[in-house]
Every structure is written in structure tokens, then in C-alpha cells.
Amino acid sequence: MNNHHGQSQQSSESKHDDDAALTDFLASLMEYTPTVPDELVEHYLGKSGFQCPDVRLTRLVAVATQKFVADIASDALQHCKARQASVVKDKRDKQQKDKRLILTMDDLSKALREYGVNVKHQEYFADSPSAGLDTASRDE
Amino acid sequence: MNNGGVNTTTGNETKADAPGGRAKADDFARAVSRVAVAQICEGVGFESVRDSGLDSLSDIAIRYLHDIGKAASFYANISGRTHCNVFDIIRALEDLGNFQGFSGASGVSHCLASSGTVMEILDYAQSAEEVPFNQSIARFPVARDRRLIPSFTQMGETPPGKHVPAWLPALPDPHTYKQTPVWNERKSDLRADKIEQARQRRNAERSLLNLQQRLAQFGSAGASTSNIAQHHQPKELKADEGNPYLTTPLPPGEKEVASVNLPVMLSNGPTKENSLSVLETFAPAIEAVKDRFCEDGDGDDNKVLPDKRPAIHFKFKTGKKVFGQSSDLNLHNKYLSRPVSLIGREEERDDKKRRAEYILRQAMENPQELTQM
């Protein structure tokens, strides 16, 4: 992608290509259904002062949000996997049930730090009154 | 893809949120975003999520949406538009992607259509599996259809002015917004008010005096028993004034109901002598007031005054009077100066009267103390 900007002599030509690509992408969004529902996006965009009747732009924002969340989630997944891999082998037998990939605040805060979000979470945080009683069964 | 784990967790949580306090306006949107984020996490490869992680991530997603909208509308407004277009959104995405960095971010005048963020999104959209939201949701927040105010044309009215177009909503009924002046109907004639006040006061005093007179009569008549006094009184009242309020509703002797009588109260007091002594004690005061009533009751015929009270006038005048004046002139002067002196005397008399009344009232209320006087 760098070559678009690096070579300015071809810029008019490449811009034309980019325009076409963008137009195609926006057109393809008409058929694309992002995981983030349109209604949710419209609600929050409307709350922030955004006005646009074009559903393609809503979808574009939805896809961007989805990408953002997915990036964070995949980073957290890597952290999770790395943490599990670092556990010593003899302990791993005991923590067999913990081998499942669970999104925890530990991994999430590590991932979010790279995205400019500082999440400070408590050492022990009770999600609900039943938290800590039977953690394994709750997280099934 | 393991479908079960994530969905059950989110399902539990949306239910668990409900009973905790009152539902907030944003609850539904947050629940939806939780489901969406959980689906994305599932798509990435997670098998399960903790509530705290899911909460934070969905909060961040909402914040991200909000920030995009804010930045995009900001860019639209700064270029003089109210509606956003795709370039505003791309600028907003670039702003939010600055922290991470994207290709071409260093270029100052790069084309927005070929922005690195858009390319990344494009790549993501093509590579990522298309996972639609697992539930169909209605548009929210639910806006109830409002009834519009009918316009002038619909109401069949003509607008109040030419500058008001007929398609505008009609004005409400005039009485709901017009202010009508309310005049003070009372005549603010101070003199008439004063006269009226004086008249009322005189009436009150007269009734009090009547009462006192009646008391005095009863006292002097020496009613042997209180019962007789009770039966006797209503008749007398009738004879005296013909006051319809004081007449007995029943023929005397049939029933002993007329209990609104002061003699009863007095006779209920410690002794008969007490009441008598009260009257005797205040006889001069009563007499003075009575005298005044006689003349006041005569109306505005003030010519009686000089005959009645020459002594006071002389007292007033002695200091300044030129000797050798004829009595006629003297009398004439008196007439001239009467208004002033009258007012002064009236006040004086009022004061006296008020004191007398006050003492009398106290005496009525607690006759015990009178014996000590």
C-alpha cells in the first residue's frame, strides 16, 4: 500500500484505483451483515450527533467496530495462549479444566494496553453474588 | 465452532442484570452489545468469557462507536455540513487509529480514499468470516408515533397574521395564552373606608354595651336562680332588639337549650357576688362608653357636642384664648377647631374604651382574680 503514496507520479492513477476500490467496498457492504447489528450502531451514532441516512456508512462503522473488537480479542487470545503455555508441565495436569480458552480481565487488560485503554482491575472482583462459590461451573 | 459456551454465558448475564435495580435507558443497547462482543470473541477463538471481561470489552466497543460518531460529525460540521459522508468517517477512523498506527499515517496530504485504515477494514471484511448477529432486534429506542398538532388549514382557521403561513400548527385557544387585565374593583376611597371601619367598630361596641347593659339588669334584678335567668333572657332579647339570631328556636320552658348565654357562664362561676362586683367595678367605664354611644348613635349631628362637653374645650383653649371675647365668638371658635380636637378626643376615648373592654374581657374570662381587685 505504501507504493500508492511513495510514487507521486502515479498518484492520479492509483487514486482512481483507490476510489474504485472504496466504491466497490461500500457497495459490497450492502450485502454484508456485520456481527455488530445496525440498530446498535445507529443508536450510538445518533447519540453522538452523527447524522447519515446511508446504511452503507453505518455498516462501515459497524465493520470498523467489529474489527477493533476482534483485534483486541485476538490479542487477548494470544496472551491467554501464551499464559497457558508458560505453565509448567506437571502443573498442567492439575489445571486440566483451566485449559479452556477463557477471556479474562488479565489477558484483556494486557491486550487493551496496546490500544490505548488502561484497564485497572481489582485483585479480586466479584462479578455476581455467586462468584467464587463454584467458578468452574459458572464459566461453563 | 463451539457455540454453546459463549451464548449460555451471555444469556445468563442478560437475565441476571434485570433484577438488579431499575432498568436504565441504555440497558438494552448494552445487552445487545454484550451479545455482539461475545459473538466476536467466539469468532476469534475464545471458548468462554468471564463477565468482567465481557463487560469491559462491550463498554469499550460502545465507546469506540460513540467516538467514531463524535469525530465524524465533528469533521462534517467543520466543513459546513450536518450530514456525514464517508470521508468524515474515514477521518474519524484515522483519528482513532492513530494510536495503533496505520500505513500512510505519516503522509500529510494522502488521499482519504486510499487511507490505510480503510484498507485494513477492507482486508478484514474480506478475510473474516461473516457472522451475522444471532438474533433479530427491532429498532430502538422505540419511538411512539406522536400526534402532530393540526395546522391552520386542517383546523379550518385563518392565521392571525399574514406573516404566519397556513401550514403551521394552529395556535391554541386564545384563553390559554392571552392575558386579560384584571382591574381592582375596590374603590380606594380612604375616607369612606375609615368611616366604614368606624361604623363597624361602633356597632361592635354597641353590641358589647347591650350585652353589658343586659348583664347589669340581670345583676340588679337579682335573679335568684340561674334557671330563671336562662328562661328570662331570650324573651328580653327579643323585646330589646328583635335580633333574629338571639331569638329562641323553641318556646321557653319546653327545652333547656339556650345555652349560649353569658349569664350562664357567669352564674357557673364561683359566686354570684363576683359577677355583680365586676359590673360595679367597671360601672364608670361602661357609663363613659355608653355616653359616647348615645351621641355617636345620633349620627353626624355634631352640634350636640359643644353643649355636652364644654369643659374639655375650655381646657384646651384656656392657654391661648384672648380674654374679653364674647361667648358667641368663643362658641364659633369652638366649632371651627372642632375637627382637630374631635380627632384627638376620639383617639383618647378609643384608648379608654379599649382598656375598659380589655379589662372587662379579662374579668369575664377569669372572675377569680377580680375578688382580689
pLDDT at A43 over 80: yes
Of all helices (H) and strands (E), which one includes residue B245?
none
CB-based contact A51 B73, cutoff 8 Å? yes
The three-class DSSP label of residue B161 is coil
For residue B251, pLDDT beyond 70: no
| Residue A35 lies in domain | 10-131
**Residue pLDDT, tens place only, B154-199:** 888 888 888 988 888 888 888 888 887 787 776 667 888 899 999 9
SS3 content of chain A, % helix, strand, coil (to 5): 65, 0, 35
Task: Report the percent of chain A where pLDDT is more than 90.
Answer: 29
Cell of B252: 321557653
For A2, the closest of B100, B103, B138 (CB atoms) is: B103
Task: Assign residue A20 the CATH number of its domain.
Answer: 1.10.20
For B106, which residue in chain A has the nearest alpha carbon? A5
Report the percentage of chain B scoring pLDDT > 90.
20
Whether residue B324 is predicted with pLDDT greater than 80 in this model: the reply is: no
Residue A112 lies in a domain: yes
> Taking 60 as the threshold, does the pLDDT of residue B328 lie above it?
no
**Percent of chain B residues past pLDDT 70, beyond the cut:** 57
**Which whole number is the average pLDDT over A119-139?**
61
More confident residue, A24 or B319: A24
The mean per-residue pLDDT over the stretch B83-97 comes to 91
Separation CA B225–CA A102 (nearest Å): 106
A71 lies in some domain: yes
Task: Provide, as residue numbers in chain A, all residues whose Cβ is less than 8 Å from the Cβ of B89.
Answer: 57, 60-61, 64
Mean pLDDT on B279-298: 59
The answer to whether the CB of B35 falls within 8 A of the CB of B61 is no
Average pLDDT over residues B35-41: 93
**A118 located within any domain:** yes
Q: Is A51 on the interface with B (CB under 8 A)?
A: yes
C-beta separation of B370 from B276 below 8 A: no
Question: What rounded mean pLDDT belongs to chain B?
Answer: 71
Residues 6+ apart with CB under 8 A from B369: B362, B363
C-alpha cell at B165: 403561513
* Chain B residue closest in CA terms to A44: B66
Q: Which of A120-124, B130-134, B298-302 has the lowest mean pLDDT?
A: B298-302
**Which of B117, B100, B13 minimizes the C-alpha distance to A128?**
B13
Q: Which residues of A touch B140 (CB under 8 A)?
A: 39, 43
Would you call B49 helix, strand, or coil by DSSP? strand
Portions of chain B given CATH number 1.10.20.10: 4-127
Q: What is the mean pLDDT of residues A90-106?
A: 70
Q: How confident is the model at residue B273 (pLDDT cuts 50, 70, 90)?
A: very low
Instruction: Provide the pLDDT for residue B89.
Output: 93
Please tell me the predicted confidence (pLDDT) of residue B272.
46
Hey, what CATH topology would domain B4-127 get? Answer: Histone, subunit A (1.10.20)
Q: How many domains does chain A have?
A: 1
Nearest to A49 among B45, B69, B121 (CB): B69
Contact B91, B71 (CB under 8 A): yes
Question: Looking at chain B from residue 83 to 122, which residues have their Cβ under 8 Å from any Cβ of chain A?
Answer: 83-86, 89, 93, 99-100, 103-104, 107, 110-111, 113-114, 116-122
User: Which 3 state secondary structure label does DSSP give B151?
Assistant: strand
Is A65 a residue whose pLDDT tops 60? yes
For testing contact with chain B, the best of A38, A43, A54, A135 (most B CBs within 10 A): A43
Measure A128 CA to nearest chain B CA, in Å.
9
C-alpha distances in Å from residue B335, one per residue of A18, B197, B253, B310:
116, 25, 55, 11
Radius of gyration of chain B from Cα atoms?
Answer: 49
Of B210, B235, B189, nearest to B297 (Cα)?
A: B210
